[in-house]
Amino acid sequence: MDQYTSATIAAEFVLSKTKLRPKVAIVLGSGLGAFGDSPSITDATRISFGDIPNFPKSTAEGHAGKLVIGNVGGVPIAAMQGRVHFYEGYTMEQVVFPLRVLARMGVRAVILTNAAGGISPKLESGCLVVLTDHINMLGHNPMSGPNDPRFGLRFFDMTAAYDPAYRALAMKEGKRIGVKIHEGVYLAVSGPSYETPAEIRAFQVMGADVVGMSTVPETIAARHMGVKVLAISCVTNLAAGLGAPLDHKEVLEVGERVRGHFVALLESLIPQLAADVGAPVKG
Ligand code: HPA
């Protein structure tokens, strides 16, 4: 079965479980899944990734592996608690499959979140960073192989992959609610080992501000389908060689610590993104 058909089947399954028709989705990264359980989501339907036809299952600790459909301030949203990563052994096609399902459900804008290591000296653990651009060091592109024109073009532009208007909105909303937001370039590695200090020095020279193991494939797949992207990194640690040795426990703990700020920012952004993609903002 081709991926368009399997994504369509998965999308129809999800939509059969709810009356809501979200135009905005959020992918919640390591330690950030709490938003999916927060009382800010009402009328929620929760579906395990494992129950969705053709959906890959998340194996990473700190990822609940659930798709939550609900209302945030009256705006229908789809939130993925967790994602799958290339380092888990999934193919790039599997890594971007959930994005394709969301798009087939009618989603037109996505907020991708992740835990990341801070490379820029301006960053410390707990900082939120709105991505301005990325550097793909995964060694793979999820769109390689035959192109299915029902998703998008063979060659597509990545000049403004992270929507400039959404970025401006995130900066403005951060200021309004008193949450300091940084901007920066995300560099994706495949992991699962963290980087060496020499790699981090090289990435610094290349212009990276944060480093992580996700988001880039999803951004590429979203842009292929014309879905708008806002991406936010939570700096959970200083990158290798810039602070203490790295530990996944710390990554999850810092996610917990920024939870309040993070949820507040998402709550204030969602209605504005929904309005941008023409979704009803109330009711
Ligand atoms: N490197 C890669 N991925 C990460 C890091 C890091 O330092 N922190 C959280 N995810």
pLDDT tens-digit profile of 239-281? 999 988 888 888 778 877 888 888 889 999 999 998 888 866 5
pLDDT in tens, 33-79: 888 888 889 999 999 999 999 998 766 665 678 999 999 988 999 99
Is the Cα torsion angle 233, 83, 134, 225 positive or negative in sign?
negative
* Mean pLDDT on 5-10: 97
| CATH 3.10.20.600 describes domain 3-277 | no
pLDDT class for 283, splitting at 50, 70, 90? very low
State the pLDDT at residue 63. 63
- 228 phi/psi in degrees, rounded to 5: -75, 145
Candidate list 7, 60, 115, 143, residue with the active-site label:
115
User: pLDDT digits over 171-206, tens only?
Assistant: 999 999 888 899 999 999 999 999 999 999 999 999
The span from the CA of 171 to the CA of 154, in Å, is 33
Q: Using the mean position of ligand 1's atoms as its centre, give its distance from the Cα of residue 276 in Å.
A: 32
- Give yes or no for residue 246 CB within 6 A of ligand 1: yes
Q: Give the whole-angstrom CA distance, residue 262 versus residue 266.
A: 6
User: In Å, how far from its chain's centre is CA 236?
Assistant: 15
Is 134 among the residues known to form the active site? Answer: no
**Residue whose CA is at the smallest distance from ligand 1 atom 10:** 116
Measured from the CB, is residue 194 less than 6 Å from ligand 1? yes
**Catalytic (active site) residue 30:** yes
Q: What is the mean pLDDT of residues 218-237?
A: 96
Average pLDDT over residues 233-240: 93
DSSP per-residue string spanning 110-141:
EEEEEEEEE-STT--TT-EEEEEEEEE-SS--
Q: Which residue has the tokens 């109330």?
A: 282
Q: Whose CA is nearest to atom 6 of ligand 1?
A: 117
137 is known as an active-site residue: no
Residue 136 bears catalytic tag:
no
Which residue among 136, 160, 248, 250 is the active-site one? 248
Q: Report the separation in Å between the CA atom of 224 and the middle of ligand 1, taken as the mean of its atom positions.
A: 26
Q: Which of 63, 134, 182, 261 is catalytic?
A: 63
Q: Is 248 a catalytic residue?
A: yes
Nearest of 232, 106, 123 to residue 169 by alpha carbon:
232
Inter-CA distances, 252 with 10, 124, 140, Å? 30, 15, 27
Query: Is there a catalytic annotation at residue 261?
Result: no
3-state class of 230 per DSSP?
Answer: strand
Q: 134-182: per-residue pLDDT in tens?
A: 999 999 999 999 999 999 999 999 999 999 999 999 999 999 988 889 9
Mean pLDDT confidence for 216-222 = 98
Q: Does the predicted TM-score (pTM) go above 0.75?
A: yes
